[in-house]
Structure 1
Amino acid sequence: MNIIEWSFLDTIKMLSRSRTPPLQSLYTTLKHNFFSTNTHQKPPTLSKIPTKYRPQAILQAQEVLTDYFHTTRSLPFTFAEYIGKNSRFSLLGLVSKVPFSRIGYPNSIQRFLRYHPINEFEFFFESIGINHVEISSMLHLNKCFLSEDSKVFDAACALACFGFPWKKLGILYKGDVEIFSKEPYELKERLSRFERYGFGSVAVIGICLAFPRVLGERSDFLDEVDMLFDDLKRVFLDFDLASCVVGNVDAWFEMCRKIAIFYELGCEKGTIGELMGKNKSIFVDYSEEVLAEKIGFFCRLDVRREEVGVLVLSKPEILSFDLEVCVISTVGFLKHFGLGVNKLKLTAQTYQYIMGRNKIANVPHIMRSLDLSEWFFDRLKNGGHGLLGSYVIGSNEDFDEDYAEELQKIQALRTSIYIIRKLNFLHGIGFGENKVTMKALSYLHGPGDELQERFDCLLHGGVNFSNLCKMLSVSPKILNQKAEILEQKIKFLFLDMGLSQEELCAFPACLCYDLEKRIMPRCQFHRWLREQDWCPFEYSLASIVATSDKSFMARISGIHPDASKKWFSSFSNEKLVSKRSFSKGNHSTSC
């Protein structure tokens, strides 16, 4: 069972499939999913309270709420105050319901609370740091008072008494809700167990916040917890990384979050403590943001992620290289990394749309589009990682004047920003600065982020990255339709018809035809003909879909005398539409 807090691996997978520079960074995604408390939802308005009295009204409401939890609900004052002063959004909702008066406003709030019970869990969850937009899914249907589920509050109190910051308890709750079903004595025993490894209470708190499930795991999974702590003891105590951590919870939490990245990549617990310790500078010299971005670069090669973790840990100097701004020549870069002369020549001829200049940030997808990602990663693992830092492009190397002229024309247009985003999408998936890229750009419609979504849809549908780029170089118009429509077509061709990637790659324009009117009826009819042994051989996808109606009818009439009759009775578009009740919005955008 995984004992790490984040769903970091799922995020890496998502970004590794197809990330281009305009998209959200790996670090930003992680912060948004797991640590952000920002929200686009506006707080309740206090329009009935004059602006100059609002701060005073909020302060009075906090004091009344604290008194309510302490006096009326019999909570210890310290915890009542934690809730009263750290649930601002819920408090504003309460204040907005109470008529304001300059004199006696606290009494009005007290009177309101007396006759209008509040959901105490809402205030509690917000006070421990959970985003208010997430709270509704955590509330009990038939419970409003903390006393009705005292285990949650008792666990929070026990953790706070140990030293956990009250506003960070939400991290534990979201990381493993089972923690809050445990008895206080169970939590104290577990925390004492962690201290016996040689860590102080502040360190234990930081570790638990980064790895919440160490507190929530059942006893039969403690072996895995022990392996984690063996690694942490090795790196923090034996190799003295602890001396580099400022003695507060936030610093320990941040340091442990960096370490957690490598377990989420798949590195085995209990095996990498020494490797982390020997290269502890990784965790000291690089922020969480930089570390996540650099690791994300190598994960976009779509190789085994545990190997990425080992690569970074064993060759930490790789993190110091510029992996964002530097410009490369695709041919020059491959030559620099030792691709053989014959292989390089063949690659340049086969993948002309990838050749030319590009940014080093796009190298992972360049390698995937060339079907060389495994080769490139092997070079990095086997001593070639230093080549990333030593590569320098010549001043005029691989400079395409035609591309530069077209780019200059685009930049002079009023819609240049819109077009440049589409161009960045193409470069992001591996297309170089060349005339093929510019030609493909002229056929693409839609914003860059929507093009990326459609590209991702085809990837997730089962099309290989290299094949998909090849398809786009031949028929870029396939991306000029909604992702939902592409998904339907891919599902039909791959799942229903059993089409291979090679067959689709040979005729990518198939995806530009209407699913209901052309692709589905013709493919199903061809399969029926084969099942009846009426058709002696297999037609290509292009012959089935792209043939004109007149030629198609002439062909099937020649296959069997009754074929055309069967077509009109069971497979023609008119028959299919009457049978299937497809929604009006399911028609493909014209390609």
Structure 2
Amino acid sequence: MTHLQKLRVASILKWVSLNFYENHLRSSTTPFQPIGSFSNAQSPRLYRTKRASEDKDSENVDKPSTGNEKNAGQISSSIKKEAQAALLDYLHGTRGVQFMDAENMSKNSPHFLDKLLKQVDSEKEILMKKNNEKEIGREISRFLRYHPINEFEPFFESLGLKPSEYFPLLPRSLMFLTDDQLLVHNYTVLCHYGIARNKIGKIYKEATEVFQYDFEVLLSKLKAYEKLGLSQPTLIKFFVASPYLLIGDVNVEFVKALENLKSIGFETNWIEGNLSADSSYNWSQMLEVLRLFSEMGCSNEHLGELIGQHPYILFEGSGGNTISLIGLLLKFGSTKSQLCSMFLQFPPIPVVKFVSNLRQCILFLNEIEMKVSEIGKIVHSHPLLLGSISLKKANSLLNTLKTGKTRLCRYIQENPQELKNWVLGKRVDPFPGSGENRISKTQKTKFLLDIGFVDNSNKMKKALRGKGGELQERFDCIVKAGLSQEDVCEMIKAR
């Protein structure tokens, strides 16, 4: 395989990486370029950019610590309760935070509480004492009286964010929640709407601007979505799964995606049931997936059947992995009708696993130095096979089969279905010796006997490597160069 061919295969593999949709698709100049375009969609900023110094500082802050590690295991639940009570009293009684919010902050900010205990114990070493529960509570109260805390730390942690997540979000010049009235107001609106406090952190991280809306703005947006006929519990699930829906006006792509899914037989409760609160969904991209299947000639009936059996085709990565797969197979020459047919036979595995298997198979064929054109033929003809199997590594398989790359390439081209017998965890038997090998061995034995080796001797077994016919040619070439046959024979025997 030439260097250019290897570069072409490497380029294909890079193209189908799991970051394909974000890094390649929107800037591609191929006919496939429009897929996934966001040109007419909103482009919400889902995450703040982290500064390098912040990344470094927050690298290890997710690990709870109480200072002296030998004391960490001695912190009993009773001590923690006293510490929580002291923090609650400070937040509600001293700082005027609403009781429910103060209680949530004191009970659901373990990292901050550990840090507070560390600060107090560094002076008094109370944790080393016995029956120290009441004393630790008094010391925390005294400490807080003279050392005001950054209230945003326990606040953000109580909303479900890890220290490494909220560290970059901390206000630069504020310490007290009352200093950011809009943040507290919009947080309260979401709480009253029914969104769990430990889910609000996800909304803050992915749609921070929502918390700077002026008074009554957020509530009006929530009411606007209710006019779509969606229930409040359903909307809560959608807002947590896709916080950016709260940015700007009612999201048009979201509405269209729901309408398209309803037209192929899926009601809102089914859609809601396939969303995970721990994932984030891009409805514009999911709408693009539905449009792609329609362009491929997939009828509403077939599309409903496909998504009903394999909902991850749409919901896994918001359909980004599906778009990557479609793009890859189009590059290998598949037609839209062939793609539709393939998806209707899709195996019961996640799309990301299918793409990974397909990518590994392409790598395997590249490693055994199969021609790029032949790789293309196999991928085009057998995508379901390649995406359904997890192949062994090329070197391991070559050793097990006891064969070379050329013969293996030829065998795969003639028997592509044999690939499914070479998957991880399955026993593989060596290839039977070929007729060429037997002829070569016979020629080599005859050559060695002719120059004086004893049949089946150890020296004969360790003798020259190479094909039998080639050994005789090399011998004749050396003799023609001027050496006598006797000298050449002695040279070979002396190896």
Aligned to 2:171: 140
SS, match of residue 280 in structure 1: helix
Displacement, 1:401? 11
> Structure 1 residues 185-194 or 100-109, which shifts more?
100-109
- Offset at 1:196? 1.6
Is the CA contact 1:121–1:144 (under 8 Å) kept in the aligned structure 2?
yes
Quickly say closer, same or farther: Cα 1:77–1:13, change in 2 above 3 A. same
Q: Distance in 1 between matches of 2:96 and 2:335?
A: 53
- In the alignment, does 2:204 pair up with 1:189? no
Larger Cα-atom Rg: 2
Rounded to whole Å, the distance in 2 between the matches of 1:317 and 1:432 is 35
Deviation string 1:426-455 (CA, Å, 9 cap, x unpaired) is x9xxx99679xxxxxxxxxxxxxxxxxxxx
CA RMSD of aligned residues (A): 5.3
Unmatched runs of 5 consecutive residues or more in structure 1: 1-7, 17-32, 327-357, 394-399, 410-426, 436-591
TM-score normalized with structure 1 length:
0.45
Q: Deviations over 1:233-285 (max 9, x none)?
A: 442587234343677xxx6445985674944977779x999966564315647
Partner of 1:239: 265
For residue 164 of structure 1, the aligned residue among 195, 201, 204 is: 195
The Cα shift of 1:77 comes to 1.5
- Partner of residue 108 from structure 2, selected from 63, 79, 86: 86
* Correspondence list, 1:54-69, <5 A: 54-69=76-91
Q: Give the 3 Å change call, closer, same or farther, for CA 194–115 of structure 1 in structure 2.
A: same
1:229 aligns with 2:262: no
Normalised by the length of structure 2, the TM-score is 0.53
User: Which residue number in structure 2 is paired with residue 122 of structure 1?
Assistant: 153
CA contact (8 A) 2:346 2:384 kept: no
| CA distance, structure 1, for counterparts of residue 326 and residue 174 of structure 2 | 45
CA contact (8 A) 1:195 1:201 kept: yes
Question: Partner residue of 2:426?
Answer: none
User: Hey, what's the Cα distance between the residues in 1 that align with 2:335 and 2:148?
Assistant: 54
**Paired residues for 1:294-305 under 5 Å:** 295=322, 298=325, 301=328
Are 1:319 and 2:336 counterparts? no
Can you give the 5+ residue segments of structure 2 that lack an aligned partner in the other structure? 1-16, 26-47, 49-58, 127-131, 389-393, 411-495
Give distance in 1, aligned partners of 2:335 and 2:216. Answer: 41
1:289-368 equivalences under 5 Å are 295=322, 298=325, 301=328, 316-320=343-347, 360-364=358-362
- Retained in 2: the 8 A contact 1:367–1:373? no
Measure, in 2, the Cα distance between the counterparts of 1:285 and 1:364: 24
Q: Would the alpha carbon gap of residues 189 and 13 (structure 1) be closer, same or farther in structure 2, given more than 3 Å must change?
A: closer
Quote the Cα distance in structure 2 between the aligned partners of 1:84 and 1:402.
Answer: 56
The answer for the alignment partner of 1:388 in structure 2 is 383
Deviations, residues 144-195 of structure 1 (Å, cap 9, x unaligned): 1111112112211111111111111122112121111113521111111112
Q: 1:125 to 1:213 in 2, by over 3 A?
A: same
Q: 1:98 to 1:159 in 2, by over 3 A?
A: same
Q: C-alpha separation between the residues in 1 aligned to 2:353 and 2:237?
A: 35
| TM-superposition CA deviations, 1:200-227 (whole Å, max 9, x none) | 112112212232222022x4xx5xx123
Aligned AA (2:142): R
Deviation track 1:563-590 (CA, whole Å, cap 9, x = no partner) reads xxxxxxxxxxxxxxxxxxxxxxxxxxxx
Please give the residue correspondences for 1:515-534 in structure 2 after superposition, counting only pairs within 5 Å.
none
Asked whether the equivalents of residues 20 and 324 of structure 2 are also in contact (C-alpha less than 8 Å), the reply is no
Task: State how many pairs are aligned.
Answer: 335
What residue identity is the alignment partner of 1:89? H
Letter of the 2:170 counterpart: L
Name the structure 2 match of 1:71: 93
Letter in 1 for 2:110: R
